[in-house]
Structure 1
Amino acid sequence: MIIPWQELEESTLYNVLDSFILREGTDYGERELTLAEKRERLLAQLKADKVVIVWSELHESIDIKDKKSFLGNL
């Protein structure tokens, strides 16, 4: 189930973004980005409708997925 990011409180949204970023691990860019920079980039992808926040009832977990890939798997 897709969770509209606009309906989340700011602190909840930031916690979801931070959790996803910290799970993803290694940063392979030219320079290491701060957590805040990574959060802003991920938030920009949400606002651009490129990724979606997804709740899995089966696994009782939340994740962020590429929108096209996620919708293509439905």
Structure 2
Amino acid sequence: MNDNDYVEIPWQKLSPDAFQGMLEELVSREGTDYGEQELSTEAKISQLRQALTQKRAAIAFCPDSESWTVIAKD
């Protein structure tokens, strides 16, 4: 996915349940790398939530593939 293929979705527009479900789904994806130390699911969710709320990351939706991911912000 490149920058022109996605639409940024503000996390604030999601219901609390949808936001939590999105975080849980993302951290459970195969191959997600969180560094040298293995973290608990709760710790991964906390890190991801913090990155989104501090605007260090954004939710990116690709209309063509109807998929989403989280990308780092510059």
TM-score range relative to shorter protein: 0.7 to 0.9
Q: Is 1:12 the counterpart of 2:18 in the alignment?
A: yes
Name the % identity: 24
**1:52: which partner in 2?**
58
Alignment correspondent of 1:29: 36
Q: How many residues align?
A: 67
Structure number with the bigger relative contact order (C-alpha 8 A, sep ≥ 6) is: 2
What amino acid sits opposite 2:69 in the alignment?
D
Structure 1 CA distance for aligned equivalents of residues 55 and 33 of structure 2: 24
More helix by share: 1
Which letter maps to 2:21? N
Consecutive unaligned residues of structure 1, counting only runs of 5 or more, are 69-74
What secondary structure does 1:49 align onto? coil
Q: Which runs of 4+ in 1 moved over 4 A?
A: none
TM-score, with structure 1 as normaliser:
0.78
